Amino acid sequence: VDPVFTRPLTAMTHDSAPDQLQWTAEALEAFECIKRELRSSPALGLPDYRLPFSLFVHENKGVASGVLTQPFQGRNRPVAYYSLQLDTTVLGNVGCLRAVAAAALLLEKAQETVLGHELT
């Protein structure tokens, strides 16, 4: 689940674990989003190391999101999803540099799956 959606929930319990949570409309919406995501099937394909990989990256609100794909029946089939919080030093940069940092971060993470094979 994308950290952008979980921020309201994290904020409720960040400093302590209260006996009773104070639910806001934003936190309730985040909770419902997480429930929907958990019920859906992402339909990831298994990596085929005979085919090239492509990594699509997006940065929004300090979160690097990406999908690693491979060609399958004329389209890009997801093999892995990534969502990582950018470092606080990166957050002070302009948008284009945050995007480059997001790409570098997810490229490093994708290497666990790609294992040195072709990646665009």
Enumerate the domain spans of the chain. Answer: 3-39, 54-114
Interior angle at CA 72, CA 68 and CA 78, nearest 5? 25
The candidate with the shortest Cα–Cα distance to 65, out of 30, 27, 109, is 109
Q: Are strands 75-85 and 54-60 parallel, antiparallel or unpaired?
A: unpaired
Q: Look up the CATH architecture of domain 54-114.
A: Roll (3.10)
For residues 54 and 3, the model is more confident at: 54
Chain-centroid distance, C-alpha 120: 18
Which whole number is the average pLDDT over 19-44?
82
Q: CB count, 10 Å around CB of 68?
A: 25
Locate the DSSP E strands across the chain: 54-60, 63-72, 75-85
Dihedral-angle region of residue 62 (phi above 0 means left; psi in -120 to 50 means alpha; beta otherwise): left
Per-residue pLDDT at 110 exceeds 80: yes
Give the pLDDT of residue 44: 85
Per-residue pLDDT at 1 exceeds 80: no
Q: 41-96: per-residue pLDDT in tens?
A: 667 889 999 999 999 999 998 999 999 999 999 999 999 999 999 999 999 989 89
Which whole number is the average pLDDT over 6-23?
79
